[in-house]
Chains A and B, each alone.
Chain A
Amino acid sequence: MGLVNGVFGGTKRSTKRLVPLFVIKRITMQKQKKATSGCVLRRAYCAAFSPRFGTQQSGKPHRGFLSRRELMSSVAAAAAFTIVPRHVLARSGQSPPSEKLNIAGIGIGGRGAGDLDEVGSENIVALCDVDEKYAAGVFKQYPKAKKYCDFRVMLDKEGKNIDAVVIATPDHSHAVIAMTAIKLGKHVYCEKPLTHSIWEARQLTEAARKAKVATQLGNQGQASEATRLVCEFIRAGAIGQVREVHSWCNRYISPRGLDRPKDTPPVPETLDWDLWLGPAPWRPYAKFPDERGELVPYCPFNWRGWWDFGTGVLGDIGCHQLDPIFRALKLGYPTSVEACCSGVNEETAPLASIVRYEFPARGDLPPLTLAWYDGGLMPPRPAELEDGRRFGDADDNLYVGDKGKMLGHRLIPESRSKEYGKPPEVLPRSPGHHKEWLLACKGGKPAGSNFDWAGPLTEVVLLGNIAVRMSQQLYEKGLKLYYDGPNMKVTNLPEANKYIRDQYREGWTL
């Protein structure tokens, strides 16, 4: 990201969308010629952080360092827009880097507040939340912003005044909100996971590409130094070929392992329950016991464990934790996945689960098993780890190579880490996760976790939940779940495909 200015010249760019295609193509070709002339760092960046995900699925194997063009292939056209000088494409309402974006926040009471802080240098022109009470503090923080309860009303009334939206609602409403915004040509920052279902993730990815808006998923770790180090260590061969990665997370995200609550107190006056439900099947507002046994409502906070609204620990954290694994090891869609858990339940995610993905060979990278653990379960402690040293924290990744192991972004044991030192720094560093998106909105290059990257990543994460929900059937039938990624289809257990796409409530469509 630090290269944005150096490569692209920095100023006067726009994400202009209404340009005749031939103009763009011509400019693109000129710019690409210039850009590929010997910029090693930039090529490296593209290989590691290109938003093009899972290129092996398109039949093109990875070759380590691909040219930007090869990697970008189908998004090349979209990328091209980013380098068109503003003066050529000028249209009122577009923001060059010198101008501020007009941003609307949707779902602002929780994580949304933090996201808004990160983009607070821009104009926060509108705020939307179905829970007045939860959002009250943030409403107050931005006195000039117009306040809304229904995002559809907001986009309808303020549409012309909004350049970009930040979405931090519960998972089940990400897709309908993001799609509405994309169709209106708004740039979108959406919290992770991108969507509640695989089908939605695919639709958003394609729609964003078509609408040529700047997008970013809220997996801020992708912009970190740690993610770059993981890629650089592995690319430098510090642990040899990697055939096995373990990822675990022991966070408490929400009550889980529960049945549908029977305690249905009246909806608080400050909450629009019907809007909160959005496209999810209707159910009464309710309370249920959390881990301390205290009665809590679905919202705020306690919805993540409920399949109708959230996506469990894997959905919540997977897009963070699996991101560096996918980047460093160039993962695309898996060929198969299997899962086991502490009790399948149609209402909530289990208290603990293990999901095991098998990925095919990718170019010269060997096939890989990725095992995910949550609810306190962990992989075996590696022999390389010194006695008494904590094995990761509540969450971490363990990369098992044929020449060594890496815990998070540190080689183990510590003596090996000291001996090896740092890998060569070949990847450009990020100006910051939210900043990447803001720059992209203003005509910069695509953000590191734009939907071309984050959509497929989310798909794979959510596939794990399908394996969890089908785990008992899979066991009974003696199967792993085989998956056709490009066609979004479980090939050997048709019943599983019901989870690929959610049935929306009447009145809600993508």
Chain B
Amino acid sequence: MIREKLLSGKFTITAEISPPKGTDISGMMKEAGMIKDAVDAVCVTDNQRAIMRMSPVAACCALMREGFDTIMHLTCRDRNRLALQSELLGAASLGIKNIIVMSGDYPTKGDHPGAKPVYDLDSVQLLDMISRLNNGIDLSGNRLEGKTEFFAGAVSNTELTEVAIMKLEKKIKSGARFIITQAVFDPGKFYEFRDHVHDAGGEQIKIIAGIIPLRSRKTADFLNSNIAGVKVPDDMINRLTSSSDPGALGIEMAAEIIKELRGICDGVHIMPVGTHENTRKILEMAGL
């Protein structure tokens, strides 16, 4: 299982899977099927980019039935403290063991721009609340009949301002046992981020580096101008521009980044723009 593998110090591979927009899970299962046995766990998103989709609890259950280990995303955007806790108790009762928390993209970015933004808790407070549930008490101090046993993590950008580093430290203090990062394109810059994490919580805080395989110069430009915390370096963009087969080059570059990261962090998290059709190949080329 992912938790044991990560904590044992073995290099761990996760991949992002989105629940369907609708009740038909066949597309999601097909997507997950492409990476079955190539990854240690799938990370199941929670209305990512504020676009309404099936609940990650339900999607995780469907994936677990097919033998996948899962990490469930949980954002602060859509639920107040009652809903977050009841969702977590429900998830625990259905066998979900790993949770990764985040603030959540603002509703106006998504397909229900008029939705009320909740943000009753922030990610630091949500991690602390999960620690309490793991200790058998709720946020108000009431005792639970049966406690949770979540392995909780947080997300982070890798190039951080001083105030963002302080927040990262608070996430670790509040119970984040692992960090999944935004996409990394310059592994050389990753050491500094790793040092921040280890300074805050020691080497037992596991770091999984995000990987977005590039498909073309267009993908790179899109990421640079639309995704916070992502910076595709100019030399990569130039290589893609002059390549006769940017798709193949993107796969190669992702594998190169993973190889470089192997000695620096505890795992990688593949989050393709689009499908996982190349994920297996990237991992093979990276020697995983």
Same complex? no
- The residues of B with any CB-CB pair to A shorter than 8 Å are none
- The residues of A with any CB-CB pair to B shorter than 8 Å are none
